[in-house]
Structure 1
């Protein structure tokens, strides 16, 4: 990706090196940081799965106020942070344009929080081992940048656009939250059994993948120099690497389809490609799709 001409977002909060922890409750988090990712991370990091699962369950508690904390700006010479901030800034400009021109609405950008190991959120205690996630309770995306290294080393999905896809997927969840999709899905899930609720979660995650593709397509239209040869392939490879079937196979040696919450590798690639090729938010209605 060519980001030299891109400006950094001012909505980055750096908590690295500060405190982290505290069991605060809130609505269920959505995004890559879910139980399946937690299980895979426990396998790769050698962490007791019960610890990871406990953190995942905390993220589904009841909302409570967060403590006041210092919102630091990241250091200017941190290249990975600068990259993340520039990608975030591009998502802000792109989604502002889409909301204004296609939805006749005002886009409200989220905060992106950089943290290490653990951090309090409006959705509970966030943990690095759970991967990046979006918290609808505070409209913030949380990421430990060490995940990028894991994406490359453990999942074989390196490259700057693969990293950008991770951010764009979580921003996709923010878009869903702003449009009321998140509330509808959460309400429906509460009326369902576990297997049905998981199927609904899959549709929500695949829509976030499609929205990530919509961002990239529109960003490229606005700046023809943004994407370089091979970038799209990096993103598709990353989507395939974090499919439920592949993660379950790596973590436990077998696949349990009824436990899927994000979709298979094939499904994730298909919906990311859908957004990339159409650039149309209306083409991302995974809830109406007969076949995922």
Structure 2
């Protein structure tokens, strides 16, 4: 997934059917995935505290491009969708361990990604990003940032538009923003991205203590929420 000017294949087709390098539909595509507010790294082969060799310069460039694309999408579409002015959240970006910005007086958590409502900012542990980037690919970075941005959007809405299933709604908003960014030419979905997105969902679904089913939903619920955003856009996530 890259911040490029044109699409080889519509995102929704990639998610539902797959797409080869020429932009034609192909069978055997993977289901659309999602991320979590507090996100743990893939369990194999890394464990928390071990990352492996990662091109961090490339990873950080992907994070920068994801922030630019997702930010541009919401800057354009939020006012139209909700008939109110849009104020973007601050992107605190990467930290390591407990060296990140505190949220509500609490220190940052290692191997975590989060939106802090009191400070109105997004942040992520660079080792978390590196673990997923190393094992899965750059779609990991885009999806984590899109999900956490979804929580920032929730914080800007009237209470009646925020679902009690806040994590699934953030997954839906992530799907809407990535699909919308692709349609606007802000990102390009590359061959292999659907598989990376599916692996991301499997890695961060409900196998970790920070992502309990009671809070975040199971894998199939999160797939369904993300797909709802992809196919129905912002309105489908707030009805």
- TM-score under structure 1 length normalisation: 0.59
Relative contact order (alpha carbons < 8 A, sep ≥ 6): 1 or 2 greater? 2
1:121 partner SS: coil
Partner of residue 197, structure 1: none
Partner of residue 163, structure 1: 141
Residues 98-118 of structure 1: CA distance to partner in whole angstroms, max 9, x if unpaired?
112222222211122221111
CA RMSD of aligned residues (A): 3.3
Distance 2:159 2:65 in 1: 27
- Which of 99, 110, 126 is matched with 1:128 structurally? 110
Q: Does 1:241 align with 2:195?
A: no
Query: How far 1:82 moved relative to its partner?
Result: 2.0
1:138 partner SS: coil
Does structure 1 conserve the Cα–Cα contact (< 8 Å) formed by 2:175 and 2:226? yes
> Any gaps of 5 or more consecutive residues in structure 1?
7-30, 47-76, 186-199
Q: Does 1:90 align with 2:69?
A: yes
> Any gaps of 5 or more consecutive residues in structure 2?
7-35, 50-55
Partner of residue 21, structure 1: none
Distance 1:228 1:181 in 2: 37
Which structure: larger Rg? 1
**Displacement over 3 Å in runs of 4+:** 180-185
- Which of 278, 282, 292 is matched with 2:235 structurally? 282
Partner of residue 24, structure 2: none
Does structure 1 conserve the Cα–Cα contact (< 8 Å) formed by 2:150 and 2:170? yes
Determine which structure has the larger helix proportion and give its number. 1
2:220 partner SS: helix
Partner of residue 9, structure 2: none
Distance 1:243 1:269, change over 3 A: same
- TM-score under structure 2 length normalisation: 0.71
Distance 1:219 1:183 in 2: 22
Does structure 2 conserve the Cα–Cα contact (< 8 Å) formed by 1:240 and 1:269? no
Size of the aligned set, in residue pairs, is 199
Distance 1:262 1:209 in 2: 9
